[in-house]
Each structure stands twice: as C-alpha cells, then as structure tokens.
Structure 1
Amino acid sequence: MVVVGLVVLVAIVFVASDRWRRGAFIFGSAALLAAVFRLCLPTVRVGLLAVRGKPFDVAALSLLGSTIVFLAATINTLGVG
C-alpha cells in the first residue's frame, strides 16, 4: 500500500506542476501496480488494497488503470506541441 501511495503522490506532483498527461499516466500506472500487488501478494500483506475478493479487486484495478493509461496516452494535447 505504501508503494502505491508513493506512486500516487508522484502523480499528484506532476499534475500540480501542469504536467497533467504525465500525471494521469502515472496515476493509471499506480492502479495497475496495485492490481499486480493484489494478485501476487497474500491478502494479509496488501493492506487496504484488499476491498472485496481477489478476482474483483484485480479486475477493477486493472480496468481502472488501463482505462486511465489509455486516455492519458490518446487524449488530444489541446494544441500544445
């Protein structure tokens, strides 16, 4: 949980410094990292990442993370080169 929290903190720093696409990409990567941790680690070790059953948690985090990464990678830069 601490590792995922630190990655989210890095994403917040990027968003706060007007690097929102990079921050969104890192935030989506944090969700994917949480899915990997939830899949690989036992329930007693993942802390607050264990919300429901393991299959649901992994599926929800994977869907959320991949959607955010996809949107961050494909969204228009609004005219910024």
Structure 2
Amino acid sequence: MSRPPLYTRRPFLAGLLRQLPLFAVLVAVAVGLGMVALEHWRRGLLVVGLALVGAAVLRLVLPVRRVGFLAVRSRPVDVVLMAGAGVAVTVLSVLVPGS
C-alpha cells in the first residue's frame, strides 16, 4: 500500500518545501545587502546580481510544482527579467569605477 503524497499528509510542510528556492535566493540577496551596508558595496552588489541570475536558473530548470513564488509570470518572461536584472547589476557593480 502506497502512502499519500506529502501535500495531503502535511500541507504546511509541503508548502514550506516548495518555497525553498525562493528562500535560498532571498538569503543570498540579504547577504549581499548586508555586505553593502558594511561598506563593501561592490562585492555586495555582485552577490545580489549573482543571486538574481541564480533565481533565473532555478526558474528555468525547476518544474512549476517545485519553484514556488519564483514563478510569477510565464517561464520565459520570468527567466529573461531575472537574468537581465542580475546581469545588469553584476556588470554595473564591476564596471563602476571605485573610489
């Protein structure tokens, strides 16, 4: 006899597990913003940009049932917008001359 799926046995836990990709991205962004607050703005923005690129990759490769709130629009639109913003922030953090 097979067990019922997790979302029927423990819906709260299943909902939390579904949001793990978003949580990972938010933690990386928080680390980057913390670095910016500690006056390491270039490295911090690099971390934020790479977190956005990572979010785009997660949105691209994970199925809809696993991606959670990283799925806002259609997959191509989400991937293009997140990757574009991530690349823009990353490139700007590298190209802006330091003081």
TM-score for the superposition, normalised by structure 1: 0.92
Q: In 2, Cα distance between the equivalents of 1:72 and 1:45? A: 31
Q: What are the ranges of 5 or more consecutive residues in structure 1 without an aligned counterpart?
A: none
Question: CA offsets per residue over residues 3-56 of structure 1, 9 Å max, x none?
Answer: 101101110110110001111100000100000000000112111110100000
Alignment pair present for 1:21 and 2:45: no
Alignment pair present for 1:69 and 2:96: no
AA matched with 1:28 = G
AA matched with 2:23 = V
Identity across aligned pairs (percent)?
Answer: 38
AA matched with 1:48 = F
TM-score for the superposition, normalised by structure 2: 0.76
Q: Which structure has the bigger radius of gyration? A: 2
Aligned length: 78
Taking CA–CA contacts closer than 8 Å with sequence separation of 6 or more, which of the two structures ends up with the larger relative contact order?
A: 1
Q: Give the ranges of 4+ consecutive aligned residues of structure 1 lying more than 6 Å apart after TM superposition.
A: none
Q: What are the ranges of 5 or more consecutive residues in structure 2 without an aligned counterpart?
A: 1-21
